[in-house]
Amino acid sequence: MIKKRPKHLALHKIQFPLPSYVSILHRVSGAVLFLALPVLLLVFDQSLRSIETYTNLAECLANPLLKLMLLGLMWAFLHHFCAGLRYLAIDLHLLPTLAAARSSSVWVLAVSLTLTIVFGVKLW
């Protein structure tokens, strides 16, 4: 039996389910948080070093572009945290059915975006 195989795989035509997007975003947010860790530690160090460095840091962080970047990092942390709780619940068999696991991916996106908006408005 000879099957005719496609010559190329059109990745832009593949429809991924929502849990795959949550999984991809979980990996991307983890990588972004890991790469941003030295910068965040430097910011933390500058905030605790002296009152002068804290004042300089506060002036720098008043820039809207830096605030937007910190908002993105906040979303990355909240998404990574919520998706991690989802994967933990799946591993502990708290979401035993496929439908429950798929609906939890909607909750991960909704909760992480809602928390980002709430904390972003509070901290902006």
Predicted confidence (pLDDT) per residue in 10-68, tens digit: 778 888 899 999 999 999 999 999 999 999 999 999 999 999 999 999 999 999 999 99
Q: At what angle do helices 51-60 and 18-49 cross, to 10 degrees?
A: 140
Asked if the structure places residue 3 within a domain, the reply is no
- What total of structural domains would you count in the chain? 1
Host domain of residue 66: 19-123
Mean pLDDT of the chain: 92
Handedness of CA 52, 54, 60, 63 (dihedral sign): negative
pLDDT at 6: 66
Q: What is the CATH classification number for the domain harbouring 63?
A: 1.20.1300.10
Note whether residue 10 is domain-resident. Answer: no
Q: What's the predicted TM-score (pTM) here?
A: 0.85
Structural domain contains residue 84: yes
Determine, yes or no, domain membership for 46.
yes
